């Protein structure tokens, strides 16, 4: 992840009710009681986030928390009542309809829970469809579509129709269709939630593999914290239209900003969230090959427990920055709140 900000939103509101724009102008920071008194629903309330280039940014919350509405505001599929959305420094809320069409065609990719494949088109034709809309030359569009179909693991299925595919395969077609335009920014709204658990985990693995090769900037919605932990660089927790906390998965578990976040995360096994860097004793030490600072404890616990002494921990450059011993691991696995 780089420090370059790809997408920002500032003070985004999405209100439903009568004359909401005038209400927000006259009451620029309405409270819940202000909204209730005016008979207005605050679907998104004063949301501000920065998303870095190459980051997987997960937005999560319970049903009705506002996460899908926020993403639709960020992509301008629905119009915010107030605020600004900056994409590569351009305020999307000031873009004309024609400019937004071009941005969506060439720079934004979107995948939703329901695949919305065109049933009368083959896999290859479905993937080609965005390029067809762009009036790309047929040979060029087909070559690009075949390349992306292979990228998502569907080579040999190009001539199948959606009805001939499994749910996981259909979702791969949806992912390929969104990738074929080489988007700068990729929105995914609970793309795996309709899949069976085993297929869902397979798709998460495929998604991470794709990201390792493509380095997209991704906004991913889920209500599943296990999924968020596997995928996210950072997570935003939403409740009642508000963003409660933005942090790494580890920070959310270790330093929840509110009782709600603590309750939201309390059933997650700490070994799946905590990293070696978070538990290590700083400074040189340990013996044997180092583990990485970013390794999850669940991935390295067995090695540390079986070691004769502390195991060294290295940063991304390979420099030893600390060590970790079996006592620290035991506290995570068997201490309060650490059970699997």
Percent of the residues in the chain that have a pLDDT greater than 70, as a whole number: 97
| pLDDT above 60: residue 215 | yes
Q: How confident is the model at residue 116 (pLDDT cuts 50, 70, 90)?
A: confident
Give the pLDDT mean for 244-251. Answer: 94
The mean pLDDT of the chain is: 90
pLDDT at 109: 87
pLDDT value of residue 339: 44
Domains belonging to the chain, first-starting first, are 5-107+183-268 (3.40.50.300), 271-334 (3.10.580.10)
pLDDT recorded at residue 285: 78
pLDDT for 214: 87
Question: How confident is the model over 247-258, as a mean pLDDT?
Answer: 92
pLDDT single digits (tens) 129-170: 999 888 889 999 999 999 999 988 899 999 999 999 988 889
Q: How confident is the model at residue 3 (pLDDT cuts 50, 70, 90)?
A: low
pLDDT tens digit sequence for 13-70: 999 999 999 999 999 899 999 999 999 999 999 999 999 999 999 999 988 999 999 9
**Res 244: pLDDT:** 96
- What is the token pair recorded at 203? 């798709």
Kindly tell me if the per-residue pLDDT of 1 is higher than 60. no
Checking if the pLDDT of 336 tops 70, the result is: no
Read off the pLDDT of residues 307-323 as tens digits, 9 standing for 90 and up. 989 999 999 898 999 99
- Report the pLDDT value the prediction gives residue 335, as an integer from 0 to 100: 66
Confidence (pLDDT) at 225? 87
Q: Rounded mean pLDDT of 224-245?
A: 93
CB atoms within 10 A of CB 282: 10
97, pLDDT greater than 50: yes
The answer, yes or no, to whether residue 337 has pLDDT greater than 70, is no
As a whole number, mean pLDDT of residues 188-211 equals: 85
| Mean pLDDT computed over 63-89 | 93
Q: In whole angstroms, what is the distance from residue 24 CA to residue 70 CA?
A: 17
Q: Per-residue pLDDT for 293 more than 60?
A: yes
> pLDDT tens across 270-290, in order?
888 899 998 999 987 788 899
The yes-or-no verdict on residue 294 having pLDDT over 60 is yes
């Amino acid at each position: 992840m780089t420090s370059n900000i790809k997408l920002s939103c500032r003070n985004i509101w999405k209100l439903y009710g009568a004359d909401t724009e005038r209400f927000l102008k006259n009451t620029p920071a309405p409270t819940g009681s202000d909204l209730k008194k005016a008979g207005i629903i605050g679907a998104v309330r004063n949301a501000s986030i920065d998303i870095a280039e190459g980051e997987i940014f997960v937005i999560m919350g319970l049903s009705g928390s506002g996460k899908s509405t926020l993403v639709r505001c960020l992509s301008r599929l629905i119009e915010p009542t107030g605020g600004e959305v900056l994409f590569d420094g351009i305020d999307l809320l000031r873009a004309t309809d024609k400019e937004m069409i071009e941005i969506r065609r060439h720079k934004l990719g979107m995948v939703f829970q329901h695949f919305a494949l065109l049933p009368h088109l083959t896999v290859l034709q479905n993937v080609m469809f965005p390029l067809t809309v762009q009036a790309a030359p047929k040979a060029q569009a087909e070559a690009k579509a075949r390349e992306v179909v292979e990228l998502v693991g569907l080579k040999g299925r190009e001539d199948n129709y959606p009805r001939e595919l499994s749910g996981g395969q259909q979702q791969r077609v949806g992912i390929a269709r969104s990738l074929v335009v080489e988007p700068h920014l990729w929105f995914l709204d609970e793309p795996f939630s309709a899949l069976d658990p085993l297929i869902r985990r397979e798709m998460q693995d495929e998604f991470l593999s794709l990201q390792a090769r493509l380095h997209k900037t991704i906004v991913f919605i889920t209500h599943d914290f296990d999924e968020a932990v596997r995928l996210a660089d950072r997570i935003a927790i939403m409740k009642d239209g508000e963003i409660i906390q933005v942090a790494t998965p580890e920070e959310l578990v270790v330093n929840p900003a509110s009782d709600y976040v603590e309750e939201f995360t309390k059933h997650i096994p700490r070994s799946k969230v905590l990293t070696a860097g978070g538990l290590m004793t700083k400074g040189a030490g340990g013996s044997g090959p180092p583990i990485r600072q970013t390794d999850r404890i669940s991935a390295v616990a067995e090695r540390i427990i079986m070691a004769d002494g502390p195991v060294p921990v290295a940063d991304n450059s390979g420099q030893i920055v600390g060590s970790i011993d079996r006592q620290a691991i035991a506290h995570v696995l068997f201490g309060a709140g650490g059970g699997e």
